[in-house]
Chains A and B, each alone.
Chain A
């Protein structure tokens, strides 16, 4: 259903209460509150596709075709339950929408059969989404009542997984673009700035700098041209907030970009998306074209006199380009090496002009703030830190997903209540917050209320909002080793403390977790010294690195050394991995009762550490063993075990 341009724009500009009956009817159709035929939506974002949403989609199509059922099938974003993919939702005319989990292709026919017969399979249903003029299903929980959603405040994620990201009409139908239109019609540049300053919105990229103040510096710098850049580089492993915001509700982000660009008096905005986020690129690219088509981008937007171009640029892949000056260098067609600050980009940024770089989550907050007002925004979260924060929860938590909570929510609520804690029978060992530059947080701090200030008090931070849940089967040291190795690869290499420091840090962590074939005295000494020096090295890296990457690279090491020192000591002094994760530190043995003497382990051992005579039990010489575990893998009789 494609409404004509004029109607859509009229709907977007008018307060719903002022609409006539016919127009209200239109709005209800656009927002899919009222349906003419059944609607089936499939989460086609990466997490859905990986779980098989592509096949699910085809199965649905096939089902409808075969039975000649008239129904609409649409793509949508993720509702945040990444471990329940493929998520599929069905809305029958006049009824509320139902969400189902793990709908793989093979489950489609049975599921749709049931639904069209008004039967709801309990094992697959997640819940129903209440809506106006829709009859609820009995005995089905509202989404708001299931623990995953109950404690969240989904204001930015509100429409993700619910609306069609390819439909501007649906976004407008749900109130989209009214914020931008009221901004360009009713406010001056500086009024928008002040509005956002009053809302107390702070940058969601980790630093927590007040967004409005950042704008004001750029707005107050005289220049012939100013730039607004949306930072969508997001390449932290384990962070997927921006990705699913872009894939779930691209128009909300673009509306936010337009508002921010207007506020700083810029006619030129860029959105810099890491090229690997192919699905995000696809949706944003489509959305920009759609907006141009509708005259919501371009010259003299809706006769307001305001011009705005938004261009999509694909980041060619460098973690460091998440740093704003590196991102700007990359946009300019240079190596993504950061530049010293000051001067700040708000004074001299892209092509030497005042430039504001905001991240996806920050910008996605703006339409809501404008629509509902700064006071509404301030009523959410904390006084000095209003609003919500979206976290990407992964690892050993029962639910992997995207969670939006008011600022000030505790880790305990997020990890234990919302995403269900660790598996039954397991214990929570740590949560790692903020990706490779983040912090290892012990269970003792789970009651910490998450605000920028509170975390800072404990020398912690939230970084990009990735939370990795670790249970007692994981090794903190090994995880930190993973992060140091990652950062070592991602350092741009420009400044000495980061380039050389991350390298040395990664080496030390590697040495802690590995066992060389024959360990010379020197390397044992190096290992001890390495750990001793790591703390002082960390301090200097923090103190002297050029950009946030180098300054924060020591965070995983420093926080884990502080809270999990005993794990390090076990690795360094006792040479054992308490959770038995670091394979090289395991001690391997052969069970004489199970060994048949087939000799395959001895043949495959790269260190020639296994001796014996065929048809008699073999034996592992501990001094020679490098702990690779190959014998364990090749043994057909499960005779190899480790302690």
Chain B
């Protein structure tokens, strides 16, 4: 077996102090670097901080930031702030769910797309707004949405 780099171990090593208040920063580091919180991460972080793993799991399930499976190649973030809602963000979310057959926080089976509905991106002047891997799209209509997703589908299957 090839030697795997121990990425979780490396992250844990950056938090040498056994303090409960490093739990969230630790999980955030794992989320940022691995893309999700694995079972292994929960168990190892728990034993590093002398916390029962149920507490680590319980905490991770409380916050939006943490996911338990890797996201898609293209991560779609749709703003569902009040201004975006007013301009049809709900409709966009429905459309994405229909096209990609995934729910909020889920990833398509081919791991190409994942969807996240955010409470407000803070760009209420350009509503409705969405982003794919950090690239923003503003003032989107359903028609434009289909074009965007099709473009990514094409790119992704290449």
Contacts and interface: CB of A to CB of B under 8 A. Distances in A.
Q: Does A touch B (CB under 8 Å) in the complex?
A: yes
A50 B123 contact: yes
Interface stretch (A212-220, A390-398, A584-592, A612-620): A390-398
**Which of B25, B28, B83, B84 has the most CB atoms of chain A within a 10 A radius of its CB?**
B83
Interface in A335-360: 335-337, 351
Contact of B82 (A243, A277, A395): A395
B149 interface: no
Contacts of A313: 24-25
B138 A51 contact: yes
Interface in A4-44: none
Contacts of B13: none
Contacts of A432: 82
Contact of A49 (B25, B28, B58, B136): B136
Interface in A396-435: 396, 400-401, 432, 435
Contact of B83 (A46, A316, A468): A468
Contact of A314 (B22, B28, B58, B59): B28
Interface in B112-158: 118-127, 129, 131, 136, 138, 142
Nearest to A633: B142
B54 to A, nearest CB: 11
A81 B123 CA distance: 11
A51 B123 contact: yes
Interface stretch (A233-241, A545-553, A563-571): A233-241
Given A235-B119, A394-B125, A400-B125, A333 B62 contact: no
B36 interface: no
Interface residues of A, number: 55
Contact of B59 (A235, A331, A334, A466): A334
Interface in B1-56: 19-25, 27-28
B86 A396 contact: yes
B74 interface: no
A63 interface: no
B83 A400 contact: yes
A238 B121 contact: no
Contacts of A314: 24-25, 28
Interface string B66-100: 10000000000000111111100010000000000
A238 B120 contact: yes
B82 A47 contact: no
A47 B139 CA distance: 12
A333 B21 contact: yes
A85 interface: yes
Contacts of B126: 47, 50-51, 82-83, 85
A298 B46 CA distance: 32
A330 interface: yes
B66 A316 contact: yes
A82 B124 contact: yes
Interface size class of chain B, counting residues whose CB lies under 8 Å from the partner chain: 35 or more
A238 B81 contact: yes
A479 B86 contact: yes
B75 to A, nearest CB: 13
The listed residue with most B CB atoms (<10 A of its CB), out of A49, A396, A435, is A49
Given A316-B63, A318-B64, A474 B125 contact: no
Nearest to A351: B21
Most buried by A among B24, B58, B80, B136: B24
Given A316-B27, A394-B82, A432-B82, A47 B122 contact: yes
A195 B80 CA distance: 42
A439 to B, nearest CB: 13
B125 A401 contact: yes
A50 B118 contact: no
Q: Which of A277, A351, A401, A482: most chain B CB closer than 10 A?
A: A482
Contacts of B83: 237-238, 394-395, 400, 468
B50 to A, nearest CB: 12
A319 interface: yes
A482 B81 CA distance: 10
A317 B118 CA distance: 10
Contact of A468 (B66, B82, B118, B119): B82
B3 to A, nearest CB: 32
Contacts of A361: none
Contact of A336 (B63, B122, B124, B127): B63
A237 B85 contact: yes
Nearest to B56: A333
B8 to A, nearest CB: 18
B123 A47 contact: yes
B82 A240 contact: no
Nearest to B136: A50
B98 to A, nearest CB: 10
A482 B65 CA distance: 22
A275 B120 CA distance: 12
A137 interface: no
Contacts of A46: 121-123
Contact of A435 (B28, B82, B131, B142): B82
B59 A482 contact: no
B65 A275 contact: yes
A488 interface: no
A203 B8 CA distance: 41
B120 A235 contact: yes
Contacts of A294: none
A342 B59 CA distance: 25
A84 interface: yes
A331 B21 contact: yes
Contacts of B19: 333
16 contacts: A50-B138, A81-B125, A85-B125, A238-B120, A275-B65, A314-B28, A316-B65, A318-B62, A318-B64, A319-B119, A333-B23, A337-B62, A394-B124, A394-B125, A395-B83, A395-B124
Q: Which 4 A-B pairs have the closest CB atoms?
A: A317-B64, A82-B125, A394-B124, A316-B63
Interface of A: 46-47, 49-52, 81-85, 235-240, 243-244, 275-277, 313-314, 316-319, 330-337, 351, 392, 394-396, 400-401, 432, 435, 466, 468, 470, 474, 479, 482-483, 486, 492, 633
Interface of B: 19-25, 27-28, 58-59, 62-66, 80-86, 90, 118-127, 129, 131, 136, 138, 142
Given A50-B136, A83-B125, 19 more contacts: A46-B123, A49-B136, A50-B123, A237-B82, A238-B83, A240-B124, A275-B28, A316-B66, A317-B64, A333-B24, A335-B59, A335-B62, A336-B62, A395-B86, A396-B86, A468-B82, A482-B82, A482-B85, A486-B119
